[in-house]
Amino acid sequence: MHARLWALSLATPAGEILCVLALCPILLSIAAWNGFPIIFYDTGAYILEGLGHVFVPERASVYSLLLYYVDASQSLWLVAGLQALITAFVLTELARGEFAELPVWSLLLMAALLVYLTGIAWYVGQVEPDILTPVAVIALFLLAYRSSVLGAARTILLVLVGALATASHPGTLLLAGGLLLVLVVVRASAIFSARLTAVRPSLFAAFGTFALASVLVLSANYTLTNQWFFSRTGPYFAFARMLQDGIVQKLLDDTCPQSRYPLCPFKNSLPHRADSWLWNGDSPFNQFHRFHGPVSPYEHMIADSIYRYPVTNVVAVLKDTALQFVTFRTGDQIEPQEWVLYSDLAHYVPRQMESYMRARQQRGELRFESINRVHVPVAILSLLGLLFLLRTAYVRREWQQATLPAFVLLSLLGNAFICGTLSNPHDRYQSRLMWVPTLVLAISAAQARLFSLQRPVESGT
């Protein structure tokens, strides 16, 4: 019996199901050690929006309503548990799609190492949509490049999971849209190049995922506002990033008072950081009613600055993208937040407050300096590993083998561009994805090991 379990692989339905279920407690291990799901500053707004049905413009309605539908008022562990199940599913399907003969115990060991070496468990157990960004990336890759091994049931599940993950945040929706555009270009190019035929993606299910995600976003926003729209806050965040880059200050210095921009009276007292502009109590942003105020002045200033300073804007975008690409420390703003979020949590999840206050996070016992001595070097080595896999595939002309590392690398670049320029660089934006390259390398190493073990046998025959 023990031998049969030891030999169980992802190629069997029993092994596949067992792996998904066994991965969940591994992925929740950090939250369990903390004593409560990890809380971020935005968690309170998601709870307010989802459980209180109060529209919060700067928060994603789909994720907020997810808290409502999983009954987070009873326990936030239900949210973390669902995120663990979703992540375990796509992780298992990725491993199965790349290496179906992989033993279950081997993938469980990989997951345990991921928990230690990367930030995956910090995001799975966090009441925040960050873990759903890599879920969306993996789902799109599988639907585009591994559809032949999925089957109907897995395809449907991946479309549903991928749509929910894609809709969970505007940045993820943009990332998925960008990846789909690349897939369209690759498929179109394959018509004219025989070399690209091997990497021609399937588009139907991938586009279905994006379409369903778009419907979810529109429906969630309509549920809370009785209006159809995707997002209302993009210009606010983009403006804040341009302020941090000094472009807004230059525009005001060059055009005020003739331009009559509402910010002209404040041009000598503007904060220098995007976060200070958006969230500080003394920011002029508050005098313009924050995210509920008119958006047109910000749009006009953004357009005017692009017209006046195109080179400066391009340089700033490239700089912020590059900075975001290499900014991926684990634990960004995961700190004691009992007084920041206490009122919202006490009102909407009162029965959970005792556990919340006893958590290691609220007691200030989390130490990320030592954690990042491991996580940051592993992330850097994983990025280099992706490049090595791409080079190896190129040298051997194994184009199918290049699809996964290329797709992951493209996702990292796209995420860095979207988050770095449409918001502003933060560690958590990129670190939420950094466990994916490490997983890809682990699966590739397992494949290489099996090949090396089989090679002498094949030579002998």
Burial of residue 232, with CB atoms counted within 10 A of its CB: 0-12 exposed, 13-18 middle, 19 or more buried:
middle
Which pLDDT score, from 0 to 100, does residue 460 have?
Answer: 44
pLDDT above 90: residue 107? yes
H-only helix segments in 280-398 = 296-308, 310-325, 338-348, 353-358, 368-396
Calpha distance 440→97 (Å, rounded): 12
The answer to whether 172 and 166 have CB atoms below 8 angstroms apart is yes
pLDDT above 70: residue 2? no
Calpha distance 350→102 (Å, rounded): 44
pLDDT above 90: residue 426? yes
The answer to whether 232 and 221 have CB atoms below 8 angstroms apart is no
User: Which residues pair with residue 126 across a beta bridge?
Assistant: 38
Segment 428-456 shows an average pLDDT of: 85
Give the pLDDT confidence of 33-44 residue by residue, as tens digits: 999 999 999 999
Give the pLDDT confidence of 157-190 residue by residue, as tens digits: 999 999 999 999 999 999 999 999 999 999 998 8
Segment 268-285 shows an average pLDDT of: 92
Calpha distance 401→448 (Å, rounded): 12
Burial 113-140 (b: 16+ CB within 10 A, else e): ebbebbbbbbbbbbbbbbbbbbbbbbbb
Domain ranges of the chain: 2-232+328-460, 234-325
Give the pLDDT confidence of 219-264 residue by residue, as tens digits: 999 999 999 999 999 999 999 999 999 999 999 999 999 999 999 9
Q: What is the number of alpha carbons within 13 Å of residue 432 lying toward its C-beta?
A: 25
Band of pLDDT at residue 441, cut at 50, 70 and 90: very high
Give the range among 109-113, 337-341, 393-397 with minimum mean pLDDT: 337-341
Stated pTM of the model = 0.94
Give the range among 214-218, 367-371, 396-400, 453-457 with minimum mean pLDDT: 453-457
Which pLDDT score, from 0 to 100, does residue 451 have?
Answer: 59
Give the pLDDT confidence of 281-306 residue by residue, as tens digits: 889 999 999 999 999 999 999 999 99
Burial 28-59 (b: 16+ CB within 10 A, else e): bbbbeebbbbbbbebbbbbbbbbbeeebbbbb
- Greater model confidence, 194 or 10: 10
Which pLDDT score, from 0 to 100, does residue 190 have?
Answer: 84
